A = this chain, B = another copy of it.
Amino acid sequence: MAKLVVTYKTPKDAAAFDAYYANTHIPLAKKLPGLRKYEVSRGPIATPAGPSDIYLIATLSFDSMAALQAAFGSEEGKIAGADVANFATGGADLVFFDTAEV
């Protein structure tokens, strides 16, 4: 499977982030063509050294890198991508990659 991982740093206003993410961004991102699975972290992100500056991690799965790239380039992908700036006040990093179970 191919995965798009979005790492959101701690936002300025966590309650506002949570409300916008649940009510606006998830519905937009769920429209991505070819989306197979959409997982969102719940609760704090921890590291071996203690709390992290990462607030939320979203993982979107697609059948292949070609399907992921097609979703990213689609009208729905452009809308969902542009929407990130509306709530990710702490910043967001996107990575995508192919993956296999070992």
Contacts and interface: CB of A to CB of B under 8 A. Distances in A.
Contacts of A98: 41-43
Interface SS, A side:
strand
Interface residues on A, range: 20 to 34
A57 B81 CA distance: 22
A3 to B, nearest CB: 8
Contact of A95 (B30, B52, B96): B52
A101 B59 CA distance: 9
Given A5-B57, A57-B5, A38 B102 contact: yes
Interface of A: 5, 26, 30, 37-48, 52, 54, 57, 59, 65, 72, 81, 93-102
